[in-house]
Amino acid sequence: MIARKRLKINLNIEEFFYEINKDDFIRLFNNLFSNAIKYNKTDGNIDIILQNRELIIKDSGIGISKDKIKDIFNRYYRATNQSGGFGLGLNIVNMICKTYNIKIDVQSLENIGSTFTLKL
């Protein structure tokens, strides 16, 4: 889907150590990254930034309306029917963040994109 949408992935990675189960991190990252792909626009961008003990995944996609942001971490909730899915991904992300005391912040503007910031 990355190639089909002609997405550009920008990386800014700073090495540091954080103790988290490998499978939990893969699940956390895959859910955020796959959403950035799925809800992005053709010729869009995805920025992945890991610095200052923050993981930031920012996309140039469809965005989330302000009135829906409060619900996106609820199980089975889907802010849009644009793409497939069951509304579990962000609920899983939220559960993993709670397990490791990771603060998650979401900033989003419709038709501009979303930024998910995890403060590790």
- Output the pLDDT for position 86: 52
Three-state SS for 19? Answer: coil
The per-residue pLDDT of the chain, averaged, comes to: 92
Asked if residue 26 has pLDDT above 60, the reply is: yes
- Output the pLDDT for position 39: 94
- Output the pLDDT for position 72: 85
What confidence tens digit (pLDDT) does each residue in 44-86 have? 999 999 999 999 999 999 999 999 988 888 876 565 655 556 5
Domains and CATH numbers, the chain: 2-119 (3.30.565.10)
Q: Is 68 exposed, middle or buried (0-12, 13-18, 19+ CB in 10 A)?
A: middle
